[in-house]
């Protein structure tokens, strides 16, 4: 699936924002675009809001919404099998090349040499980048 297709599907499936009842898979934080995966005693929050204090939730939500390209990239990386990620398959180039092109304007987010072989390392780095941009982690120097 291409980045544009994923973006369109994500937009179509996330038209309702925030918490939609006890069976919702959305993060409980108002307007959060992430799925809730951690229970906080009846409400489900995403990993990013779980790390944050409730008074910082609006800032975290805004940062997550501003990082749509990183969020969508994480979702797409998770769907790709290891063989397609690092090697040409049936004449198609390795999938990591799509992510290198996706982040032309942010070369620091392109897969590095080690991540071209290990997609999980790349996924973790993108997740950490989201946490940094949301103010929940510090960049290593």
How far is Cα 68 from Cα 4, in angstroms, rounded to an integer? Answer: 12
65 and 131 in contact (C-beta within 8 Å)? Answer: no
- The number of folded domains in the chain is 1
Q: Is residue 22 part of a domain?
A: yes
Q: Is residue 140 part of a domain?
A: no
| pTM > 0.75 | yes
**H or E stretch covering 132:** helix 119-133
Per-residue model confidence as pLDDT tens digits over 72-103: 999 899 999 988 998 888 888 999 999 999 99
- Average pLDDT across the chain, whole number: 86
The DSSP result for 28-97, as a single string, is SSTT--SBP-EESSS-EE-HHHHHS-GGGHHHHHHHHHHTHHHHHHHHHHHHS-HHHHHS-BTTBPPTHH
Q: Is residue 104 part of a domain?
A: yes
Is it the case that residue 109 has pLDDT exceeding 90? yes
Is it the case that residue 51 has pLDDT exceeding 70? yes
Range of the domain at 87: 3-133
Q: Nearest 5°: CA angle at 35, between 30 and 41?
A: 70
- Signed CA dihedral, 79, 82, 85, 89: sign only: negative
Q: Is residue 89 part of a domain?
A: yes
Of residues 1, 4, 27, 7, the one with CA closest to residue 16: 27
Q: Is residue 138 part of a domain?
A: no
pLDDT the model gives residue 2: 67
């Amino acid at each position: 699936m291409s980045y544009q297709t994923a973006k369109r599907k994500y937009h179509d499936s996330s038209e309702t924002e925030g918490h939609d009842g006890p069976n919702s898979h959305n993060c409980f934080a108002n307007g959060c675009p992430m799925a809730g995966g951690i229970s906080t005693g009846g409400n489900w929050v995403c990993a990013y809001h779980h790390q944050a204090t409730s008074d910082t939730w609006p800032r975290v939500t805004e940062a997550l919404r501003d990082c749509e390209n990183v969020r969508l990239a994480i979702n797409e990386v998770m769907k790709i099998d290891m063989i397609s990620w690092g090697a040409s398959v049936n004449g198609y180039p390795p999938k990591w090349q799509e992510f290198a092109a996706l982040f032309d304007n942010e070369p620091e987010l392109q897969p590095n040499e080690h991540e071209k072989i290990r997609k999980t390392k790349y996924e973790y780095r993108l997740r950490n980048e989201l946490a940094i941009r949301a103010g929940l982690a510090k960049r290593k120097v």
